[in-house]
Amino acid sequence: MARTKQTARKVPISRMSKNTNTLKIAKTPSPAKPKRDNSDTESEGEDQVTTTTTIGSSADSTEFADIVVGPGQMKIISWNVAGFNAVVGKGFREYVEKEQPDILCLQETKMAPAKVPKSAIPDGYEYHFIAANRPGLHGTALLTKTKPLSLKFGIGIEKHDNEGRVITAEYPNFYVVNTYVPNAGTQGLQRLDYRIKEWDKDFHAYLNNLKATKPVIWCGDLNVAHHEIDLKNPKTNKRSAGFTVEERTSFGDFLSQGWIDSYRHFNPDKTGAYTFWSYKSKARETNAGWRLDYFIVPNEFINSIKTTFIRSKVLGSDHCPIGIVVDA
């Protein structure tokens, strides 16, 4: 079987080109009655979405100024973009230039490394893409202002690595593990056994072994809503991928080994905080969402996390960006 394709390229500094395709930011109208979310996969507060403005408009000039990054700190963003080419056409570069993350982790890029459009990468970022062996599926990417001490693509197990789901970047005080966790099944639960008995088993061991050498920041689309508070319609999704007892139990068992869901740690009772909305049934308009995207850290590292946030108003994908500010 062919090895997973990978690349590491430094972006040349060049003049910034204008992008007429701008990512949308949602405005909040009056609440509407939610509809059932029948998503089989996978915002702070009860955001409702019907009207939009662009990131570049004067009304949104301070949209991303709410998160303060102090000296010796880094802002890390994670986002399932549901196709890099697609989000590039919706203002990806403009969003990154506004947000200014120090590290940006992308999932479901569906992008072969050799085909990455250099013009889509903002100035000053080193970028690394990994692709699945099957074209047009899965994939992850890392954009970083600070050159990592080391990079690893995959976890060293071919049956997992051929889907391009993991990039591990080492920094002086922590690892960042960017992950697109396998979905248990978009048509039924055909990959549930693989997800629980193979992927979770091997990947959780990888994280625990890594943690023994240095703190780990695990982020990405983890394809699980851990508790009922983490999705709008738990009662109707008991056997939906991402909310099965098996997936939730496996995730909970991993957390019990000394790991913390950073967003829920700081927002234990926050409702309506979702990161994914199915394209079906106008789920985003009614905030019938799921929280599938996470930053997970070791218990002893939680005090290094200064802020957690969800960019629920940033459109362009069926997921929205999430972020943390961390002592670097």
Q: Which residue ranges form the domains of the chain, and what is each CATH number?
A: 22-327 (3.60.10.10)
Q: Which of 200, 221, 230, 261 is catalytic?
A: 221
93 DSSP 8-state letter = H
Report whether 287 belongs to an annotated binding site. Answer: no
- Reply yes or no on whether 221 is catalytic: yes
pLDDT at 12: 35
Alpha helices in the chain (DSSP H): 84-88, 92-99, 158-161, 192-193, 201-211, 245-255, 262-266
Report whether 221 belongs to an annotated binding site. Answer: yes
Q: How many CB atoms lie within 10 A of CB 182?
A: 20
- Reply yes or no on whether 180 is catalytic: yes
Cβ pair 326, 304 in contact under 8 A: yes
* Residue ranges of the chain whose pLDDT lies below 50: 1-22, 27-61
Report whether 233 belongs to an annotated binding site. Answer: no
pLDDT in tens, 250-287: 999 999 999 999 999 999 999 999 999 999 888 999 99
pLDDT at 20: 37
Q: Which of 127, 180, 206, 274 is catalytic?
A: 180
- Reply yes or no on whether 102 is catalytic: no
Report whether 327 belongs to an annotated binding site. Answer: no
pLDDT at 23: 60
